[in-house]
Amino acid sequence: MQTVDQPSIIRLFRVTRRYGAQKALDDISLEIPANAFVFVTGPSGAGKSTLLKLLYLGLPSSEGQVIVDGMNLARMNRHRVPMLRRRIGIIFQDYKLISTRSVHQNVALVLEAAGTPHRAIAAKVNSVLRTVGMEARRDALPPSLSGGEQQRVAVARALVGEPRILLADEPTGSLDSASAAVVMDLILRFHQRGGTVLVATHDHHLIRSVPARVIHLVGGRLAENPETETAGDPLPAASNP
């Protein structure tokens, strides 16, 4: 629920995104307050990934206004995009780690791109790798890791820059239930520290595992009864990852 002292960190006003003649998102208006935990759900092709991409300017919208952390993305100058991206951590279903760089280097790249002083980088990377339990594998190359381990590194990479917003697109889609519970626990801890979280998923077990706002998309539109709140029953594997 939005309050006066908790302004929306994400606002969409009449947003449409077209691919050719097709509308992947159709006239979406939404407000998400800071520190919300939101699931974006709906069938395959509903526009979930497209919605997340608009928020980090992975794609521009075709029409409408997208405002993220006070920045109007439609009017944003290209050279300000890195500033937007520094406020957002992104987790992809297929991890998107660089296979020829070590775990440590994959995470460090974010800070190097942000101009963090060299000496501070190692300490921050080691700390976040400890948080996700991947410190011992810091020199490993991603292809030598399991899917769950790669996703933990991807979570570390998303969190190392201390973003305000975490966007996760099917973050547990290719993981077994124990690894999924570990990754969700890391996302929840980010939320408990004050972060704003959007998770796109069609996994109803995952959605029910967290008390959260649920936004339903169908065919690029907000569903007729667009929102519910979940109670938060823990994932079966959450207590024994």
Ligand X SMILES: Nc1ncnc2c1ncn2[C@@H]1O[C@H](COP(=O)(O)OP(=O)(O)OP(=O)(O)O)[C@@H](O)[C@H]1O
- Cβ 198 to ligand X, closest distance in Å? 13
Phi then psi dihedrals of residue 127, to 5 deg? -65, -45
Q: Tell the residue number behind the tokens 């790249």, with chain if given.
A: 109
**Cβ-based nearer residue to ligand X, 129 or 197:** 197
Q: Of these, 27, 33, 35, 45, which contacts ligand X (CB under 6 A)?
A: 45
Q: Of these, 48, 87, 104, 216, which contacts ligand X (CB under 6 A)?
A: 48
From edge to edge, which strands make up the β-sheet containing 8-19? 22-33, 8-19, 63-68, 71-72
- Cβ 64 to ligand X, closest distance in Å? 16
Q: Which of these ranges, 3-11, 41-49, 135-143, 158-166, lies near ligand X under the rule CB under 6 A?
A: 41-49
Q: Residue 12, CB half-sphere, CA atoms under 13 Å: how many?
A: 23
Residue 209 binds: one of Mg ion, ligand X, none (C-beta under 5 to 8 A by kind)? none
Q: Which of these ranges, 42-50, 79-87, 117-125, 214-222, lies near Mg ion under the rule CB under 5 A?
A: 42-50
Terminal CA-CA length for the chain: 32
- Cβ 169 to Mg ion, closest distance in Å? 6
Give yes or no for a contact between 179 and 237, defined as CB atoms under 8 angstroms apart.
no
> Chain-centre distance of CA 193, in angstroms?
15
By CB under 6 A, tell whether 160 contacts ligand X. Answer: no
By CB under 6 A, tell whether 24 contacts ligand X. Answer: yes
DSSP readout, 51-90?
HHHHHTTSS--SEEEEEETTEEGGG--GGGHHHHHHTEEE
By CB under 5 A, tell whether 49 contacts Mg ion. Answer: yes
Positions in the binding site for Mg ion (CB under 5 A)? 48-49
Positions in the binding site for ligand X (CB under 6 A)? 19, 24, 42, 44-50, 202
